[in-house]
Chains A and B, each alone.
Chain A
Amino acid sequence: MTAEAPPPPGPWRQAMRGLARNRAAMAALAVLVLITLSCVLAPLYARDIAGTDPFTSNVAGSITLDGHEVDIMQPNDNPLHLGLSPIGPTGHAAYLLGADSQGRDVAARMLYGGRNSLLISSCAAVLCLILAAATGIAAGFFGGLVDAVLSRLMDIMWAVPVYLFAISLSIVTVSQGLKLGPFVVEADSLLIPIVIIALVYVPYAARPIRGRVLALRQAEFVTAARCLGVPRWRIVLFDILPNVTTTLVVLGPLLMALSLLAESALSFLSIGVQAPAASWGTIIQDGEGLIYTRPMVAIAPGLAIVLVVLALNILGDGLRDALDVRDAARRSS
């Protein structure tokens, strides 16, 4: 009796193994997990470690450092007594990265801001992928008039510069909020930047999906399903969708990186996350007025954005390599 050979691992498992072998992608994943975890624990940090309220102005307040009471806003050393500067990085738990112009703890705001930035960018990326998948699959699979209408719509959206489009939508919604029948979205809701960012990037993701579906539509297994009389919705759901999933997975991190940049830009322009809530973009805006005396207020969130975008791009590349069957075959040969 001979032992039966174990079945070969499925394509997803193979892809995950490939990803696990990619050191750069795993390092990027670790960075992302670390940053996300830190941001999730923001309330714990603010309350129990720093002991500060990052949402309340505290310019008239003081903290105790090494037994000495220190003002949050410190007078500048000049004969005219002109100006006050927020406390710089203290090296202590409280005000680790210093204070902003409203006397708030920058480190705590960074973590809270990261929660919003990551939440908005991930939700926008997911929503964008859902919309793009629906659009791309409908256009590619049904063809004809549906394809013509959806493709031209995507062309029109694509023709408007992404940031200009997002800024235009944001200005309208941030000033008035959003009313869709019985649904009312307040002007300061995070839903607004999520929906806007998702919308503006739909053409970016829908195009490659449509191309993939156009190729799949001609595939033998789809033709066979049609010949067997399988309803079109079943073909879309069980034959087409699983085959575009890899494209969606690869696009995910890249879209999240783009969404993060868009969110930061909108918030920097005061048309994204609304005060007193924070995002990395709003903190950079807070730091703009302190760039000469307290550059850390702008640099710290800027670095966080660079780090996350870089990590997402490396992870996206890793996912693409791991999920690319041809590439895998090349590597194994």
Chain B
Amino acid sequence: MTRYDPATGMVLERNPYFREWAHDAQPAGYVDAIQVTFGLDPEGEVTAIENGQYDWMYEDVPLDRLGEVGSRYAGQVQIYTLLLYYYAALNVRIPPFNSLKARQALNYAINRHAMVIYHGGAAVATPLCQLLPQGAPGYEPSCAYTKGASPAHPLPQWQAPDLEEARKLVRESGTAGQKVTIIAPLEGRYAAMAMELRSTLASLGYEASVRSMTQTVQFPYVQNSDNHVQLALTGWNADYPSASTFLQTLFACASFRPHSDNSPNMSAFCNPDIDALMNKASAAALTSPTESMQRWTEADRALMAQAPAVPLVQIKRVSLLSKRTRNAIVTLNDEILLSQLQVR
């Protein structure tokens, strides 16, 4: 790095002393220098790339520009699946979601098709019914909460909301009429998803409201048990491509740290049996990857049977490259290999 200014950007230049020792581990770069500019908003980034001023953008193409980009710059678009999903964490320690039936009801009632629309349609997003996303080790398509399915008899794909079953479960839980506050980030897609959740909760007979705050405030706020958050709308991006980064980080007993802003288990969920299953899956990864994957699949299903969260949608990254850029390689963790970009 030859220049860095947190306000404007940085410049990365080729290391003259670098020699490739293993191509798979660290291939030699193609570009001689990379100039990174900070401060443009996504709309500005799209315009700048369309005008040939820049080669790659960090953010997603904004929803409002997807149509334009898809029609006029289709050849410059890259779409890739990420280990990233959005979900609603249900606090299992306070009403109404301390009732399993209430949690299952919301899972049945939510319209995941609407969630897909909020993210730009089927080309960009997929309905998600489970806590392991597509692409994660141990992922086996399974949807326990959709029309015609149950935790004991899941379907491979989400079909439609089952409001009838959801209302029945709410009646049985005796939680109808209770107040539910959704804590959501202020930013665009979250706001729309939060309103959808509010409408769904209202249709189930809850008195639902949304409290929005900026994402940087919301994320630590919903993690702290002192704030008594009933329902937190959030997203989770894998730190590394493994099942544990989702299941253990978000739902293991050890991940719940009371009174802390750093408690990723936002559901405050703790089930020793499922914990033991996840520990076995983790341990088996070293000795028997196949067995490990099977156990992660079991853990995913066991967790969904307890419904500590409502998985909503898994999204794909839509990236726009300049005309002269080739060979954009992006990992499942949403990391672009900048050194491998080729520009003419």
Contact = CB atoms under 8 A, between A and B. Distances in A.
Of A57, A77, A79, A275, the most chain B CB neighbours within 10 A belong to A57
Given A102-B195, A289-B64, A73 B122 contact: no
B212 interface: yes
Interface string A69-92: 000010111111111110000000
A14 interface: no
Interface string B89-119: 0000000000000000000000101100110
A291 interface: yes
Interface string A57-72: 1011000000000000
A169 interface: no
Interface in B197-229: 198-199, 209-213
Contact of B67 (A83, A274, A289, A291): A83
A59 B111 CA distance: 10
Contact of A275 (B62, B63, B77, B210): B210
A84 to B, nearest CB: 5
A305 interface: no
A88 to B, nearest CB: 12
Nearest to A83: B66
B121 A78 contact: no
A102 B197 CA distance: 12
Interface stretch (B185-193, B263-271, B289-297, B303-311): B185-193
Interface stretch (B51-59, B68-76, B251-259, B272-280): B68-76
B338 interface: no
A293 interface: yes
Nearest to B111: A60
Contact of B70 (A80, A187, A270): A80
A85 B198 CA distance: 22
Contacts of B120: 82-84
A59 B318 contact: no
Given A59-B117, A175-B213, A291 B123 contact: no
B63 A79 contact: no
Interface string A277-292: 0000000000001111
Given A73-B117, A82-B120, A276 B195 contact: yes
B79 interface: yes
Contacts of B121: 75, 81-84
Interface in B239-259: none
Interface residues of A, number: 30
Contact of A57 (B62, B114, B123, B211): B114
B168 interface: no
Contacts of A85: 67
B70 A76 contact: yes
Interface string A145-176: 00000000000000000000000000000010
Contact of A59 (B114, B194, B213): B114
A223 interface: no
Given A81-B121, A275-B210, A270 B67 contact: no
A188 interface: yes
B124 interface: yes
Contacts of B117: 59-60, 73, 84
B62 A82 contact: no
Contacts of A76: 66-67, 70-71
By Cβ-Cβ distance, the 5 closest A-B pairs, closest first, are A83-B66, A76-B67, A78-B70, A82-B70, A78-B71
13 contacts: A59-B117, A59-B196, A76-B71, A79-B74, A80-B79, A81-B122, A84-B117, A85-B67, A102-B196, A274-B210, A275-B194, A276-B198, A292-B64
Interface of A: 56-57, 59-60, 73, 75-85, 101-102, 175, 187-188, 270, 274-276, 289-293
Given A59-B192, A79-B71, 6 more contacts: A81-B121, A82-B124, A83-B66, A84-B117, A292-B64, A292-B65
